[in-house]
Amino acid sequence: MISVSVFSQEYIFGKVSTESGTELPSAVIINMRTDEKILSDKDGNFMIAAKTGDEIRFIKNTYERKIQRITTENFSRPLNISLEKSPYLIEEIELAFNPTGNLKKDVKSLDPPKRVVALNSSMDSYMRTSPTEPSPKLITPSAFGPRDFNAGQVDVVKAVSALVGLVSKASSSPLTKANYAETQDFFRKIKTTMDLSFYTSQGWDEEEIDRFLIYADDVYSLAKKYRKNFNVNAINTDMKMAYREYVKTRKIRPSSTPEIFKNKS
């Protein structure tokens, strides 16, 4: 591999591996000057834009982080990085609030009052609950309405539709709350069958993803709705909405605008 210049931008090529030489896929590589983040491919290879003197950070869950200061030699030969197995979990870093001086923007980053949170939660629960009483309807009294020449006749189409509805309702099983074992199996299926690359690209480790899944399940009842009918598209949609609320309540600032939200108006 050689140094490449594209639009006056230099790139560093290399590979991330373990102490024993095993390639490490999906390792997070960050240029601390430009805040650019990439992932190594399935063979551990990576390519990232850099300049001499830049600090490149390599992160992989359950491995020690490594920092490399770029020199001129790194542009003429591959930069091979070996990560050591971490004997302990890295302590969680709490992102401090940095005010911008713009009151309208800064207020959005603060935690809302407890009463507001409780009210919003109650309203959300109320809006999700089916009404127990029928809504009033505006009808014309029969005395003033047009004459119904079909009175006393049986509507065959409506009768068949009603019968089909009753059969479908009897055959479908109602949603029930998932127990602990069912919930854990559901979470395990999400992590093994669904694409979670967006969350790992944010620097989230497995523990952070687990916390997010617990939050999403608590807010959107994922296990209750989808553990028996594993609808990937529906689950992904609910997780997108949960992500928006999660980063606000945890004061987590996304590193970039997620591709999964760019097409939403």
Q: How do the pLDDT tens digits run along the chain, 265 residues long?
A: 444 444 446 899 999 999 999 999 999 999 999 999 999 999 999 999 999 999 999 999 999 999 999 999 999 999 999 999 987 655 667 667 677 778 777 767 767 777 878 888 888 887 777 777 676 777 766 666 666 655 555 566 666 666 666 655 555 567 788 899 999 999 999 999 999 999 999 889 999 999 999 999 999 999 889 998 899 999 999 999 999 899 888 766 555 444 444 444 3
Q: What is the 3-class SS of 22-50, one letter each residue?
A: CECCCCEEEECCCCEEEECCCCCEEEEEC
3-state secondary structure of 106: helix
Q: Is residue 13 domain-shared with residue 107, that is, in the same domain?
A: no
Assess contact for 248 and 196: CB atoms under 8 A.
no
Q: Can you give the pLDDT at residue 127?
A: 78
Assess contact for 232 and 189: CB atoms under 8 A.
no
Residues 180-230 pLDDT 10s:
999 999 999 999 999 999 999 988 999 999 999 999 999 999 988 999 889
Minimal CA–CA distance to 16: which of 70, 72, 58? 58
As a whole number of angstroms, the distance between CA 135 and CA 194 comes to: 41
In a domain, 145, yes or no: no
Q: Is residue 106 domain-shared with residue 222, that is, in the same domain?
A: yes
How many folded domains does the chain comprise?
2
Residue 249 contacts by C-beta under 8 Å, 6 or more apart in sequence?
111
Assess contact for 85 and 19: CB atoms under 8 A.
yes
In a domain, 133, yes or no: no
Token pair of 169, please? Answer: 């309702």
Minimal CA–CA distance to 227: which of 170, 181, 169? 181
Token pair of 215, please? Answer: 């939050």
Q: Is 207 left (phi over 0), alpha (psi -120 to 50) or beta?
A: alpha
As a whole number of angstroms, the distance between CA 25 and CA 35 comes to: 20
- Domain of 18: which CATH number? 2.60.40.1120
Q: Is residue 71 domain-shared with residue 101, that is, in the same domain?
A: no
Domain span at residue 45? Answer: 5-83
Q: Is residue 187 domain-shared with residue 79, that is, in the same domain?
A: no
16 DSSP β-pair partners? 81
Assess contact for 104 and 98: CB atoms under 8 A.
no
Q: Can you give the pLDDT at residue 264?
A: 42
In a domain, 193, yes or no: yes
Q: Is residue 75 domain-shared with residue 180, that is, in the same domain?
A: no
48 DSSP β-pair partners? 12
As a whole number of angstroms, the distance between CA 253 and CA 105 comes to: 13
Q: Can you give the pLDDT at residue 8?
A: 47
